[in-house]
Structure 1
């Protein structure tokens, strides 16, 4: 699957998770776990809380980046559960994409009344 095809599956799965869990109000980790499970049901390879080393000049930093979900090793998904979306979430995800040399990521805010309003696509050289 391409990045765009994966993102379509992720969006569909996020809507299913949000609907099944009854909407906003739960912890981010609950939505993340449910989304990972739903994506595996859809045939995706999903890894949670993926530690990714950060290279700074000639040293690897002791504190790795933690990616919420990495889908098919191509798309990063950052899960949020906040009442107020902040544009810094997309900026952070763009940094993650650059560090991992990936092209596409999604910030999904499960704190929205309608999760479709909380999905933000972030692109790096796609």
Structure 2
């Protein structure tokens, strides 16, 4: 089954900047340091983004703004940075919640805490 890549040019550019960040800082820094460098690269490449955006959460018709996403890039892609040994199921669920709450088709989790960078795409074709 062939699947269509969502926002190919933008997602490849973002992932390329993540690899650049990882190559420069390696896998020994804190999450904030990776996000700070990534923010610099997004700005240098003139890519529009919002950092640490509040994601509304709906509960019994009440909005609660308790979730914060690392980046929203071009109002199209949620980018979540991690710096830990493993990405766990809760990390995927976290990005899914963010994506669904603001109706975004694509989320990317990047774990900078490993020797080899392996970005994970979280997709919802229903939007």
TM-score by length of 2: 0.87
* CA–CA distance in structure 2, aligned partners of residues 65 and 87 of structure 1: 17
The 5-angstrom pairing of residues 5-84 of structure 1 reads 5-21=9-25, 23-61=26-64, 63-84=65-86
| Structure number with higher relative contact order (C-alpha < 8 Å, ≥ 6 residues apart) | 1
TM-score by length of 1: 0.88
Return 5+ residue gaps in structure 2 as ranges: 1-5
Answering whether residue 98 of structure 2 is matched by residue 96 of structure 1, we say: yes
Return 5+ residue gaps in structure 1 as ranges: none
**CA deviation vs aligned residue, 1:40-96 (integer Å, no higher than 9, x gap):** 2122111111112222232112x4320101101110000000012213211221121
The size of the alignment, in residue pairs, is 121
Runs of 4+ in 1 over 4 A off after TM superposition: none
Judge conservation of contact 1:48–1:68 (CA < 8 Å) in 2. yes
* CA–CA distance in structure 1, aligned partners of residues 58 and 88 of structure 2: 27
* CA–CA distance in structure 1, aligned partners of residues 90 and 55 of structure 2: 20
Secondary structure of 1:112's aligned partner = coil
Specify which structure has the higher proportion of helix: 1
